[in-house]
C-alpha cells in the first residue's frame, strides 16, 4: 500500500483545507440512482446486488484522490494509492452486524468472487471487526436494506480529523418503470466539496448505466 504525502505548503487546496478542518465541517449528500438495467443484468446472471454495489462504490472512490485523502497512522496528511472497502454484513439471528474488508481489484469478477468468499467465511462470526488486521487504507461502506431513505448522516466526534468518505446504501424501490437506489456519501469539507460529492453520485450512475460493459 502506497501513501503519497501532501506538501501542504505548496498545495492549492491549503486555504480550503485549513478553513474547513478548523471548523470540523462535514456534510453529506443523498441521491437516488437509477439501477433498473443493473438489477436486470445481475438477476439474469444470478448474481448478488450487495457485492456489486461494493464494487461500484470502491471503483468510484479509487478514481479520485480527494476521496483517498486522510492522515496516516503517523498523523501525516496524504492520499492512498488505492483504497480497500470495509463493509458491514448482517447477522439475521441476533440482528447484529460485523465489519469485514476485502482487497480491491479493478476486475469486477475477481473482486466479486473475493467478496462472496469473505461474506461466506465470516457469516457466522459475531463481533464488530471479525476480519482482523484491518488495512489503514480502508474506508467504510454500509447498507440499510430495510428502508429507502431521503437523507442519511453520521456524527463522528473524534476531533474532526476523520477525512475519508462514508458511503451508505438504502433499500432500492420501484417507481413507475424504474428501480431507484438511495445512496448517501458523507465527506469532510476540508478535502471534498459539493463538486466531489456530486461527482461520486454521477459516476455511480454512469457505472449503473454502463453495467453491461463491466458485468459481461
In whole angstroms, give the CA distance from residue 82 to residue 141: 15
Domain assignment present for residue 14? The answer is: no
Establish if 40 belongs to a structural domain.
yes
In a domain, 5, yes or no: no
Flag whether 115 is in a domain: yes
Domain that holds residue 86: 28-213
> Which residues are marked as active site?
189
Specify if 22 maps to a domain: no
CATH of the domain at 77: 3.30.559.10
In this structure, what is the dihedral angle of CA atoms 26, 32, 38, 43, given to the nearest 10 degrees? Answer: 100
Residue 172 inside a domain? The answer is: yes
Q: Give the start-end residues of each E strand in 8-101.
A: 26-34, 69-71, 77-80, 84-91, 96-101
Give the model's pLDDT for residue 159: 66
Global pTM exceeds 0.95: yes
pLDDT for 160:
79
Residue 11, in any domain of the structure: no
Structural domains of the chain, count: 1
**Domain for residue 81, yes or no?**
yes
Q: Which portions of the chain are predicted below pLDDT 70? A: 158-159
Amino acid at each position: 500500500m502506497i501513501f503519497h504525502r501532501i506538501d501542504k505548503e505548496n498545495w492549492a487546496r491549503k486555504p480550503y483545507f485549513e478553513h474547513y478542518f478548523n471548523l470540523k465541517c462535514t456534510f453529506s449528500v443523498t441521491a437516488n440512482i437509477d439501477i433498473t438495467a443493473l438489477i436486470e443484468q445481475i438477476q439474469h446472471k444470478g448474481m448478488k446486488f450487495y457485492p456489486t454495489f461494493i464494487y461500484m462504490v470502491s471503483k468510484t472512490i479509487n478514481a479520485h484522490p480527494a476521496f483517498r485523502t486522510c492522515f496516516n497512522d503517523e498523523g501525516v496528511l496524504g492520499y492512498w494509492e488505492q483504497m480497500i472497502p470495509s463493509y458491514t454484513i448482517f447477522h439475521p439471528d441476533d440482528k447484529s452486524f460485523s465489519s469485514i474488508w476485502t482487497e480491491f481489484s479493478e476486475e469486477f469478477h475477481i473482486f466479486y468472487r473475493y467478496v462472496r468468499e469473505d461474506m461466506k467465511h465470516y457469516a457466522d462470526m459475531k463481533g464488530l471487526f471479525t476480519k482482523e488486521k484491518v488495512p489503514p487504507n480502508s474506508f467504510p461502506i454500509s447498507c440499510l436494506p430495510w428502508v429507502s431513505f431521503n437523507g442519511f448522516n453520521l456524527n463522528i466526534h473524534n476531533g474532526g480529523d476523520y477525512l475519508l468518505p462514508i458511503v451508505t446504501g438504502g433499500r432500492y424501490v420501484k417507481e413507475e418503470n424504474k428501480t431507484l437506489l438511495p445512496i448517501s456519501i458523507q465527506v469532510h469539507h476540508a478535502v471534498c466539496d459539493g463538486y466531489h460529492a456530486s461527482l461520486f453520485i454521477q459516476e455511480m450512475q454512469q457505472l449503473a448505466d454502463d453495467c453491461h460493459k463491466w458485468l459481461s
